[in-house]
Each structure stands twice: as C-alpha cells, then as structure tokens.
Structure 1
C-alpha cells in the first residue's frame, strides 16, 4: 500500500519502533515520516543483537534507501536531532519541516521544575509540554529560525503528498499511544497534544483520503509510564514473575503493567479507524513462541490468543512480534 500510518493502541510502549523498523526493511518504504509529540517518545529496535534508540528520527533509520522526514507537528530538540543524524549517518536523507517547533532550555527547565507536571502528571521532563503551550501561545521558535539545522529543512507536507501521488511507498510513524492523547486519553494524565491517527496525519501534512491503511500496534499486555488509571493493574512483583517488568526508553522509569485490555483495544480501533493490528511481545506471554516466524508453528495457546483478539476486535492481526530482534516477526499480510 502506498501510505500506511502506524499508531499506538494503548499508553505508548507498544513496540511501534520495532514494527516500523521491520516494515521499512521488509517493504522497502521510500519515505518514513515521524508525527507525534517530540523527543519525549523513545522508540527502540534491535538488529543482530545491537540495540538502537531514536527520539527524533523515524524508526526506519536502518534502511539506507528510506528518506527520513519529521513533520511540522513534531517538536524538535536540535541537539538530539543532530546527534541521531550523526549516529545513524543519515545526513543526506533526513529532512525536517520548516515549521517544526523548537524545544529550548527554558521549556526543559519548566517541565522539570513544575510540580504539577513532574509530580502529579509524571511527565518525562523533556520540555515538550511547555513547548507545545508556547506553540499554542504563538511564542515558540520554529525550525526555520535555527541555523544549525538549516541544512535539513524542507516542506515535508509537499514531499509526502508528492510521493503518495506518484505511487511511492510512505510509512508514517506515530508516537505515544491512543490513551495518552490530550483529547481522547485519560486526561489529565496525558501528553500535550492529540496522538491518534488523524493527528499524526495532520502532523505530517496529509489529508485522510491519502491514507490506505492504519496499522494499530498493541502489546500482548498493557503498560504505562507515569500516573493515571490502568485497569486491572498488577503489582511490580507480579509483573516480575510474568517477565512483564519494563522500563521507559526515555526516562528509565519502571512501567506499570496489566493484562491485555480488549475494551481499550476496541475503543482505540474506533478512534483511529484502524484497519490492521500489529501485536508485539507475544513471546513474553508464551515463551515457546520466541523467534518463530511461521504462525502455524506457534503453540496452540498463542494462536488462540491471537484469534481471540481478531474475533473480539473484528480486525486481522497481520504482524506478530515473537522476539526482540526486528526480524523475529510473523508477517500474515
């Protein structure tokens, strides 16, 4: 399909980075564009035993044929952006929209010193909330005002629309998760903007009719970082026993855990107009599934779990993650 949007179905941490990295390699996308909030979201993926993390670039960085774009709706922290460009050697294929808002030290200081944000909401301290507040007040600097990133500036919306119109393959990567949306999430324990599929399209500058598929990513259990409700939450000790104990890729904070939430999944599918499901970390629930790349070879209980998700949600589970490695994936498309 020419244009696929990926979004998180729960509270972030669903494994979108691995899914995007897999799709970019498997389907050789021409363009990968990042929407979402900004560097408060870290996406992680592993190839040949080496772990990679990105906070600004799309998770398609490992495919040297893919152009990497950052949409106008994304907040940019220049030092993080430049470090990732250097780390992944993407100077000739990274482009940032002229109108991206810029996070500076003032925003980070506000994020870390504000008791409501830090102690009540449990933000990452990356400055994204105060920066988005300044954007709403029309006080923020834009990417076009920052000389050190001038080499990478582009009209991202124009580039993506042109690519779609000429039948190039475009992969759009969302950040956070549906229930961290400022509008549709567990307010006030949410991020500083909407992060559903509609908003991700707006971030990169395409209209809804340009999208062919919305791939919603669910983990085989639910986790969230920070404060806010979590239905059927288990204790850290129980999470450790289940091997569900995880830590955030940006802050290192311990994630809270709960079993897969079918009602939450159905609501997320509705809000995002999702057409397919990617399910990650099936091997954590069913260790015998680890590394399997053929659905027919999964243990029966793992097959039943996937089938139940399909019957409950009415959508096909087309991508199944069975391990940490990018290619530890069952592709059922």
Structure 2
C-alpha cells in the first residue's frame, strides 16, 4: 500500500518522525523523499539525532530501500555527507531526472532582495527550480558522480505498489508553504500538498492508499508570513514551546493549534488519517507513553475533541522525540 505523508501547517510538524516510525511499524519496502534541501527532517533513533535534508527518514529500517524522486533537488555535498553518516549508499537510489543544485544557485539567491524579504533559507532551491522551468537545470543523469546510483524511481514505486508492497512517500515542508495553496508570497518554490508530492514521484492518485496529514500540537512557522494568534516570545517561553528550525537554526514563531487551518489542510490533501506530534509538550505526563489507555485523561480528551471537530481519525500520536515514542491507534479505529 502507498502512504503519503504531508505537513499540515508550515513545516516542522514531525513528518520525519512519522515516516521513520511507519518504515519500521509497517516494514516498508521503499521510502521515497521528495522536495529539497531547504527542508530538514530530524529523526531521533536509538539515542542519536539525525538531521536529514536529502535521505528519506525511513533509513531507520535497515531493510527499507531509499529512493530520491524525479521531482527532488539535491546538492551533492549534502548528499555525500548524509550517505556517509548513515552508511546507506548501497540502498539509496536516485531518479535520473532529479535536479542538481549548484553553487551558482546559492549565490544567486543571496543577491536577491525579494528572497531576503520573504525569509528564504538561501539553499539555492528557488534558483534551481527557476532553471528547471527554463529547461536549463543540470539533472542527476548528467552527473558523472551519481552514475552507479541512478534508476527509474517512478517505475520502481508503481511496480511495488501494484505488487502489494508497502511504500511511504515523505513530503516536505507544509501545506501552507505550497506555491499554489500557501500564504503567497511567503511560500516555497513547489506544491507541498499530497497532489504535488505524488506528482514529484510519478505515481497517480488512484494508487494512493492513505494520506497521513501531520500536525504538531501547536503551530510554528520559520521566517516571514502571516501566523494567526501568534504568541509573543515571552508567552512561548513560558509555555515551553520554543524551537529552532532544522536547516536555518532560526527561532520558530509560535501559535496555538489552529482548527480552521487544519480543516483547510484536510480539504486540500484529502487526508484519510491524522498524526499529532509533540502531545507531550502540552501534557508533560504523556512523555514516552505508547498505549492510548496510559495517556493522561486530559490528553485523550484533547485528542478526542480535536478528532470530533476535524472528522478524520487521529491514528498516530507522538509522545516524545524518539522514533518509537508513538501511540498507534490504527487497529483501535479499524484501520
């Protein structure tokens, strides 16, 4: 079955954690990464933190093969560093048509005053996407160093799904950073909804089994752009909701969970399941819990109330930073 993992707000929702958990829990054959290096996914596994910008978070399952989609953009130095750190080169494959970010793209962005004003990460992604639209971007198939790693990812994924194998596609950033559906112009350079994510891989919507929309128990945003009910820095610190971005290291702006925004994200992505992460940040006693019945009553009440309002089952609840600190309710709700 094909599962697509999508960010519900502005990124940093915990997609990497959920993707890593599912790779193990569902013993996925393939984990596929879309997007680019401007989005970092942090995975905590067996006592170590991994900050990933190219490799799928599903690397935690040693039997899962790792694929980088044709719609992805990669930077060779970032890729080599991750392959070396994770020791996964033998099970990592890249599509022939994945794009290559070069140093010129990074330098071009640093000189762009518009990108400065909207809070760009200056990773060269927007400039590389522009070159792709203009049909002049260098692709993986044009890159000698990648020769032994190239395959047709679309064909591989479609065949696996048709054969009944479990595949996860790990989207990047969040729904409201989408170029088409986000808070324009404070958005990224691609569509980050489920439709855009599967398009980057090359698989049609009829083959999608589940769309899991990932929300954090509160909303955060890095950089410029609107954020409804934004807390002051002092409020966020008082509540213990202070975070920094994986790629930029910038402080994340904070707001309470936004039900109306969540409902729109559900509509835009046709979500079939919801994952909530960092419930332990709201309810400290929830930390590390792995069974629904052992969650604090107030945490269960909060989740059940949200589920009733959103009308989509909340199946996965993150209770800590480690990949396996998850309450998995899928069987309980009949999935």
Give the TM-score category using the shorter length.
over 0.9
**Mapping of residues 221-236 of structure 1, within 5 Å:** 221-236=218-233
Structure 2: how far apart are the matches of 1:57 and 1:327?
19
Q: Is contact 1:178-1:196 (8 Å) kept?
A: yes
Partner of 1:33 in structure 2?
32
Q: Residue 237 of structure 2 is aligned with which of 240, 246, 260?
A: 240
2:300 counterpart SS class: helix
Q: Give CA-to-partner distance per residue, 1:114-139, whole Å, 9 cap, x none.
A: 11102x11011100011101111111
Matches within 5 A, 1:1-333: 2-36=1-35, 38-118=36-116, 120-333=117-330
Structure 1: how far apart are the matches of 2:45 and 2:67? Answer: 22
For this pair of structures, how many residues does the alignment match?
330
Could you state the TM-score of these two structures normalised by the residue count of structure 2? 0.97
Moved more, 91-100 or 173-182: 91-100
What are the superposed Cα offsets for residues 178-233 of structure 1, whole Å, 9 maximum, x if unpaired? 00000000000000010100011001110000100000000000001010000000
SS in 1 for 2:289: coil
Say whether the 8 Å CA contact 1:182–1:194 is kept in structure 2: yes
| TM-score, normalised relative to structure 1 | 0.98
User: 1 CA distance for matches of 2:238 and 2:24?
Assistant: 34
- 1:53 aligns to what SS in structure 2? strand
**Unmatched 5+ residue regions in structure 1?**
none
Secondary structure in 2 aligned to 1:60?
Answer: helix
CA distance in 2, matches of 1:169, 1:291: 27
For 1:166 and 1:288, locate their aligned partners in 2 and report how far apart those are by CA, in whole Å: 42
RMSD between aligned alpha carbons? Answer: 0.8
Could you tell me how far 1:49 is from its partner in structure 2? Answer: 2.2
- Mapped contact 1:78–1:149 kept (Cα < 8 A): no
Structure 1 residue ranges (4+ consecutive) displaced by more than 4 angstroms after TM superposition: none
**SS of corresponding position for 1:217:** strand
SS at match of 2:131: helix
Q: Larger deviation: 174-183 or 17-26?
A: 17-26
Instruction: For residues 276-313 of structure 1, give each alpha carbon's deviation from its aligned partner in whole angstroms, at most 9, with x where no partner exists.
Output: 00000000001011111111111121111101111111
Tell me by how many angstroms 1:48 deviates. Answer: 2.6
Deviation at 1:167, TM superposition (A): 1.0
Q: Contact between 1:131 and 1:140, CA under 8 Å: does it hold in 2? A: yes
Q: Secondary structure at the match of 2:55?
A: coil
How far apart are the structure 1 equivalents of 2:285 and 2:111? 46
